[in-house]
Structure 1
Amino acid sequence: MTTNPRWRTSATLASLAAVAVLAAGCASGAADDPANTSGSGEAAADVAAGDRLAVSIADKVLVLDSDTLEVVDEFDSEEFTRVNPVGDARNVLVTTSEGFQVLDTAAPELTDTVFDADAAGHVVRHHGKTVLFADGTGETTIFDTDALVDSEGALPEVETYQAPDAHHGVSIVLADGTLLTTVGDDTARSSALALEPHDDHYDEIASSDECNDIHGEGTAQGEAVVFGCADGALLYKDGAFSKFDAPDEYGRMGNAYVSETSPIIVGDYKKDPDAEGYFLNDVALIDTEAETYKVQNLGDVEYTWRGAVRGPNDDAYVLGSDGAIHVLDPGTGELTASYPVIDEWESPAEWQDEHPALVTDGEVGYVADVANSRIVSVDLATGEILTEGPALPAAPGEIALNLG
């Protein structure tokens, strides 16, 4: 095994302590409320997991009540931000030019707490750890998922790993502490490492350089982890990597839609590198237990990377360009139901552009209805529309749910 002295622990890293505070305008003054109550008068301590949504719009981030889909509060941010749940049932990370800024959805408050990051990228939650990746430096930041709540707004103790080179990457920490992380630079990325942590360094457990354009990850039952590649997928299981080859010369998987109670990973799949727009028409189905990989065509169903989740019965739910949510049985690859939700829509010109998105708490799906600048909630098991939210100040971009 090789030694990599790139591990450090700090209660407050100097780089984090020096973070420049982002200006955050609070529409209702909730951030100044000593009782820490929301616009509805509900005490922050009473806001349970799944009660709040964070929704990004141009120049702002909104906090919505997940039942009524009404705006609880809104905060000034940047023109384009992304939102990711921390996994502690309360906080959401808003990616800005300064890093990962903490949005407390219970208070609600866009706090001054920022995990400093150059080109803040992926956020991964698994087994009590939340892991951040800074594309501009290649630094991985790891903290206990509940630490933000326990630290009462201060930066929690973190551990960091520095990749040899900056790249668009992702990391995940497994239950035994193993760090899985991507390797690359500003010209290419094709590798992944499995690293065992020690007090001041990592030892390499396994590695692979077979995953061209490595991107994204997903963890299935039994902590089988899959990374997407431009020519298939890379599996880490039982301490070793193995490669799945796509049936097409170019067969890119960039995102994995997973359930930790299912061995099957559903991945988005693109087979034409020159295709215009961002619509996809196939999915990759990876059985991590049987170690099989196949591509399933979805017929007339077109979707984007923002429009697929796992839900009831571990099925996959795909938001199509026809405005319906289509139910996919990952075991058979068959579409078993279709639920109309919103109007038909066209592919975005750029991936960042607002377009319909789907997130879920496992039972209820929340759809970004961009054409009508609102959120719609749906019972995924039946297709029943639960709530059609009121109009938002602008078209919704991304949605994050404050699940624990």
Structure 2
Amino acid sequence: MFKLKTVPLLTGALLLTACGSSATDRATETTTSSATDSAPSSATTGATEVSGAEPRLALTYDGGILVLDAESGEVLDDAPLEGFTRLSPAGDDRHLFVSATGGFTALDLGTWTEAHGDHGHSWTAEPTLTDLTIAAEAPGHVVPHDGTTALFDDATGTITLLDPAELAEGTPETETTTTEEAHHGVAFRDERGNLVTTVGNEDSRDGIAVLTAAGNELARTDDCPGVHGEAFGGERAVFGCEDGVLVLDGTEITKVDAPDDYGRIGNQAGHAASPFVLGDYKVDADAELERPTRVSVIDTRDASLRLVDLPASYSFRSLGRTPDGDGLVLGTDGRLRVIDVADASVRDAVAVTEEWREPMDWQEPRPTLLVLGDTAYVTEPATDQLHVVDLADLSVTDTHDLPHTPNELNGVTG
């Protein structure tokens, strides 16, 4: 079992840091924490109602974070921030979590829609890098799922759980779980209230565990060497291994073997309405940097895995999904390819960037793909540009010049 403990939520002007553990039987105590001085929602402080949802993007660069209007490309904010930073969806389609030195800091993109029965009201406000920081020594994966967002601290094995809907109101109530051994991990809370987390230590990772809210172990496997990343095919979760994947359906864990002895799938792209998960696929265990030319398609219904050959390599920031669930892969030849996941084949492609080569250092900029609704956004660091692709007819509809060289890219539909 896991030991649950209270970690006070830090508020105010705090430090920022950028991207665990085995499940054993022991006593568990569950606690939560909340602050009494929550800030008022920005929905009531200077917000403007607009005619419809207005998507916004955030891009990191060496020295800060840009916030852009996704349609016009206008820079709405330029927040200075030192060090390497990462961007992750917070789960409320308004905030992102910025992983930097010291923890996970909430970035309010200042665009959101409030549902009212059969319609919604859309609002915008000034984007803000807030003072709300969840402390972490080595902030890693952030996973929003089924109304709860889990933040994983790789250095301590601490998993912080919160309701992302509370972010707009100020300080959310948090619950923390500390794994027995720290590792580069990932976790989420499922629709049954169970905690799902990777298992490992600083030297190796080998599986996942499913635990009740009280910490009682319901399922576990150590048959997933190098476990990394997660994605959802509908309600089933997929975790990558160095020899295939794990498919989790409730408490049932199924291992799907790769066709090669070493067939690493470490990055995945899921879809809420599709049973298929798109993954990368690498076969050289000794490579300093492998540039793969195949992707994997996992069918979570029958736990099967198929490979798709591509005419160009790609990077871990190249995978995405179309609105109807097909796969997207941004190749080093500059073409964005549509993968028919049902047939495991390339269906179509469009030229977006010039040819590029993946850098040796994973933190260095490279073309990055983000999908929001029926639009794909692709950065091109070599030209300091952002390209806009209409996925309905697979055409490049706009290109925006950027004031800085982009690195990470994320955003919200508003």
**Alignment TM-score, normalising by the size of structure 2:** 0.86
For residue 40 of structure 1, what is the aligned residue in structure 2?
Answer: none
CA distance in 2, matches of 1:314, 1:234: 20
Which runs of structure 2 are paired with 1:135-284 in the superposition (5 Å)? 135-149=154-168, 151=169, 153=170, 155-197=171-213, 201-221=214-234, 223-284=235-296
| Corresponding position: 1:357 with 2:368 | yes
Cα offset, 1:45, TM superposition: 5.6
Which runs of structure 2 are paired with 1:316-335 in the superposition (5 Å)? 316-335=327-346
Ranges in structure 2 where 5+ consecutive residues have no aligned partner: 17-41, 111-125
CA distance in 2, matches of 1:374, 1:35: 35
| Corresponding position: 1:7 with 2:4 | yes
Say whether the 8 Å CA contact 2:57–2:69 is kept in structure 1. yes
Say whether the 8 Å CA contact 1:50–1:361 is kept in structure 2. no
2:403 to 386, 393, 400: 393
CA distance in 2, matches of 1:120, 1:50: 29
Say whether the 8 Å CA contact 2:297–2:307 is kept in structure 1. yes
Report the AA paired with residue 271 of structure 2: S
- Equivalent residues, number: 375
For residue 61 of structure 1, what is the aligned residue in structure 2?
Answer: 65
Identity %: 37
Say whether the 8 Å CA contact 2:265–2:279 is kept in structure 1. yes
CA distance in 2, matches of 1:160, 1:49: 33
Cα offset, 1:196, TM superposition: 1.1
CA distance in 1, matches of 2:50, 2:92: 14
Ranges in structure 1 where 5+ consecutive residues have no aligned partner: 23-32, 38-42
Deviations 1:312-365 (A, max 9, x none): 321111111111111100111111111011111111121111000001113100
CA distance in 1, matches of 2:403, 2:193: 43
1:130 to 124, 141, 149: 149
Q: Secondary structure at the match of 2:167?
A: helix
Q: Secondary structure at the match of 1:146?
A: helix
Say whether the 8 Å CA contact 1:49–1:89 is kept in structure 2. no
CA distance in 2, matches of 1:209, 1:276: 26
Distance of aligned partners of 1:352 and 1:50 in 2 relative to their CA distance in 1, 3 Å threshold: farther
Distance of aligned partners of 1:286 and 1:144 in 2 relative to their CA distance in 1, 3 Å threshold: same
Distance of aligned partners of 1:191 and 1:44 in 2 relative to their CA distance in 1, 3 Å threshold: farther
CA distance in 2, matches of 1:133, 1:324: 34
Say whether the 8 Å CA contact 2:374–2:392 is kept in structure 1. yes
CA distance in 2, matches of 1:50, 1:129: 24
CA distance in 1, matches of 2:54, 2:313: 28
CA distance in 1, matches of 2:408, 2:283: 25
1:98 to 92, 95, 102: 102
Report the AA paired with residue 199 of structure 2: V
Aligned-residue RMSD, C-alpha: 2.2
Q: Secondary structure at the match of 2:216?
A: strand
For residue 112 of structure 1, what is the aligned residue in structure 2?
Answer: 131
